[in-house]
Structure 1
Amino acid sequence: MTGQPELALLLSLARHELNDHDVSEVRGLLLAHRGALDWGRFLDLAARHRLLPLVGRNIISYRLDHDADRKPLTPYRQVFSGAYVGNRVRNQVQHAEYATVLNALNAADVRYLVRKGPVLDTYGFADLGARQSSDLDLLVDRVDMGAFGAVVEKLGYQQGLLAPDGTVRPYSRRAQVYWKAHLNNSLPFVKYSGSVEVDHFKVDPCHQIAQKSAAVEVTNADLFARSVAQDICGVSSRAMSEVDQMLDLCLHLHKEATALYYLESGKGLRLRQLLDIVVLTRAWPEETWHELIELAHACSAATEIYYALHFASLCYPEAIPQRALASMKPEDTAYLEDFGHMEGKPGRWRASFFERLLGDDQVRTTSSEVPRM
């Protein structure tokens, strides 16, 4: 799979939980490469893929920092434990803030569905310190944005960019026009936290889970109709059904993995996104996978879902059923190596998938036209 011990170690540790075989494999890697592992590179990889808190927890919880003779296997124990504990405190602060937002939206009868982070924190990882989260991602109909904006602005949020002094400066007119015309999100609302634990809070309203340029056919009416009641951040809320959550994760992963806007800012495909898929589906019975397959074909999203499942299966081969993969596999899979189609500037990767995970992306030969300011 990869000849890089740092990436091999990260893939072995980046799991929701480790069984006895996993623990033995990690310990074997640490012993085999003792004294040769580049721990600086490993820490960079874990942080870049947003996995440092989970990796830290697993190293400490499964006592992988020492061998049987109590000789160190890993340096920086305090870094690994601190990453996990610090992330738990950070997420507690975020959840308390986002509970205020959700309560206010409920009180104003604004319709929304919670997406991704808070749902996965609570119902996927079930450990507030394990997953590194940041935004409160919500699906909100465009027609409800006036009421939505009024609620969050009353709580101190503004649409804009956070300046170094903690103030928020507006997005440029060009950025506002471009996002409205081409993207499925409104510009996010941010608020400076004033705390050490969290720099700022961000509420990110999305109006469609599929990009405007995509051929995917899924309506908000269907997503709201299939939604479920869930306790999110301690607040009674609405979230997508489990299968719709999976659809959303796959579409979002495909977008970030292939759009120049994300690739150029270092926010392309990250291992944490693949792990989210594995964690969400880890207890799925065959009938739920069948529901996903039916939905994929019904809404013309098989290409994007296969993209996400294919790369998840490369990193977690035991987690993705081969039948599900085969049922959505297109005849031509060359698109798996493409990027830039959203911007109309298609390119093809020169580096392999695992080289890209290591950071050898070779993508800065063209540029996105999405304004950043």
Structure 2
Amino acid sequence: MSIFDNEGKLLIALSRQLLDRTSEDTARMLLADGTASIDWPHFLDQAIQHRVAPLVSSSLDRLAAEDRPLRVDRGMGSTLRAFYLFHLERNRAAMAELYEILDAAEVASLDIVLRKGAHLAQEVYMNSGLRPIGDLDLLVPGEQASTLVALLEDRGYQQGVLEGREVRRLSRREALFWRLYGSDVPKLNKLTDNPYLPVIDIDVNISLVLPGKSGEVPVSDLMERSVVREVGGRPQRFLSPVDCALDLCLHIYKNSTALRFMNLRKHRRLLKYVDVVEYLRTRGGKFPWGNFVERAREYCIVLPVFYALAHVELLFPGEIPPEVLTEFGRSCADVDTFLNQYGQWDGPEPLIWTRPFGQRFFSRQADEAIPHSKSLV
């Protein structure tokens, strides 16, 4: 029995590159009488919030192409397709800028590893428009961060907080907060005249984890294991498969439990979980789970990784080997409590959700329970 409402079930079923039989059957069942069973405005709101509108549009188009009747609101289909086309153009502009940065970084002998969207949209998703790219995440060794920042500033980027069409420099207090509690240097922004990408955001990452409560993953280890592959007609550096999967899990945990990210609704991003499933699928059933578990233990990140994988399994049952979840779960004294905790970064004791995951993940109303973050940035 599903723990999600009809809109949530349909969103999960359609948020894949290639639908398996279970997902297709679920979608067809819910769409058989869509006008009666689906709240289309709510469905669209959640598709946008969870950043899966392009995937949903693509899946609906493929289902409709099989000449079976689908009860989909016409305006809904057109709106979803518009989001796909928007992100296709936006991603093209982002990648064009990224390629120029990589060329300049190569000249400067900088070691840059692409993370998250800039990596996945190219190597995991069949069409880059299916995977919206927000900011560009570039991982570098800490000692190279200042050189990369200077290179980006030479290209017109400004460090600080975007306010309208201006970039405000951080105050000394804000800069200190960022240095103490961030895993990256202050964000760099460049304003453009491109209507699809009016601002390019770049995160120069110097760690995969926030300081303090989620282990430590040495960047030197990540760089040593990183792999270079030719994508888009040029060599690009990515994390090794095990490190990439760990990174995706750590990112879910951070966004789902730190108040400053939750206040931005980043705890409700189905796309982050889809990324994990789609990345694992690219391994063709040969993902080295044993190495994955060992490395999580080595870096003391078992619990954050377990948090992510347990929620992946709630959303996409059967995608995570049960023995892996069992092994990770042994490190957790109270699994149910742990999976419902948040705010542990922000106070002496974590907060506990009063609504179960299935009721809050696709609900804006559940966000009203989240306290305001005291973060300065």
Residue 373 (structure 2) pairs with residue 368 (structure 1): yes
Q: Report which stretch shifted further, 250-259 or 215-224.
A: 215-224
Q: Matches of 2:194 and 2:115 in 1, distance apart?
A: 25
- Which residue of 2 is the match for residue 353 of structure 1? 357
Is this contact kept in 1: 2:268–2:362, CA < 8 A?
no
Which one-letter code corresponds to 1:100 in the other structure?
Answer: E
Q: Report which stretch shifted further, 307-316 or 329-338.
A: 329-338
Per the normalisation by structure 1, the TM-score is: 0.93
- Which residue of 1 is the match for residue 50 of structure 2? 49
Per the normalisation by structure 2, the TM-score is: 0.92
Q: Matches of 1:232 and 1:364 in 2, distance apart?
A: 43
Is this contact kept in 1: 2:280–2:287, CA < 8 A?
no
- Which residue of 1 is the match for residue 172 of structure 2? 173
Is this contact kept in 1: 2:263–2:370, CA < 8 A?
no
Number of residue pairs aligned between Structure 1 and Structure 2 = 369
1:365 offset after TM fit, Å?
Answer: 5.3
Identify if the C-alpha distance between structure 1 residues 25 and 366 changes in structure 2 by more than 3 Å, giving closer, same or farther: closer
Q: Report which stretch shifted further, 330-339 or 18-27.
A: 18-27
The CA deviation string for residues 190-232 of structure 1, in whole angstroms up to 9 with x for no partner, is 1112111112111101111122113423211111110000335
1:72 offset after TM fit, Å?
Answer: 4.5
Q: Matches of 1:65 and 1:258 in 2, distance apart?
A: 41
1:167 offset after TM fit, Å?
Answer: 3.0
The CA deviation string for residues 113-145 of structure 1, in whole angstroms up to 9 with x for no partner, is 111111111111131111111211011222212
Is this contact kept in 1: 2:4–2:358, CA < 8 A?
no
- Which residue of 2 is the match for residue 154 of structure 1? 154
Identify if the C-alpha distance between structure 1 residues 266 and 294 changes in structure 2 by more than 3 Å, giving closer, same or farther: same
Residue 308 (structure 2) pairs with residue 304 (structure 1): no
Q: Matches of 1:4 and 1:245 in 2, distance apart?
A: 32
Q: Matches of 1:162 and 1:337 in 2, distance apart?
A: 33
Counterparts in 2 of 1:90-129, with a 5 A limit? Answer: 90-129=90-129
Is this contact kept in 1: 2:121–2:131, CA < 8 A?
yes
Q: Matches of 1:172 and 1:17 in 2, distance apart?
A: 47
Q: Matches of 1:337 and 1:195 in 2, distance apart?
A: 41
- Which residue of 1 is the match for residue 288 of structure 2? 288
Identify if the C-alpha distance between structure 1 residues 328 and 72 changes in structure 2 by more than 3 Å, giving closer, same or farther: closer
Q: Report which stretch shifted further, 43-52 or 15-24.
A: 15-24
The CA deviation string for residues 37-87 of structure 1, in whole angstroms up to 9 with x for no partner, is 21100000000001011111111122179853xx74332222122221221
Q: Matches of 2:321 and 2:106 in 1, distance apart?
A: 39
- Which residue of 2 is the match for residue 27 of structure 1? 28
- Which residue of 2 is the match for residue 344 of structure 1? 347
SS state at 1:282 partner? helix
- Which residue of 2 is the match for residue 9 of structure 1? 10
1:29 offset after TM fit, Å?
Answer: 0.7
Q: Matches of 2:372 and 2:26 in 1, distance apart?
A: 41
Is this contact kept in 1: 2:332–2:338, CA < 8 A?
no
1:340 offset after TM fit, Å?
Answer: 0.8
Is this contact kept in 2: 1:349–1:362, CA < 8 A?
no
Which one-letter code corresponds to 1:354 in the other structure?
Answer: G
- Which residue of 2 is the match for residue 205 of structure 1? 204
The CA deviation string for residues 286-307 of structure 1, in whole angstroms up to 9 with x for no partner, is 5611111111112111111111
- Which residue of 2 is the match for residue 61 of structure 1? 62
Counterparts in 2 of 1:313-332, with a 5 A limit? Answer: 313-329=313-329, 330-332=331-333
Is this contact kept in 2: 1:50–1:132, CA < 8 A?
yes
Which one-letter code corresponds to 1:175 in the other structure?
Answer: E
- Which residue of 2 is the match for residue 224 of structure 1? 223
SS state at 2:344 partner? coil
SS state at 1:361 partner? helix
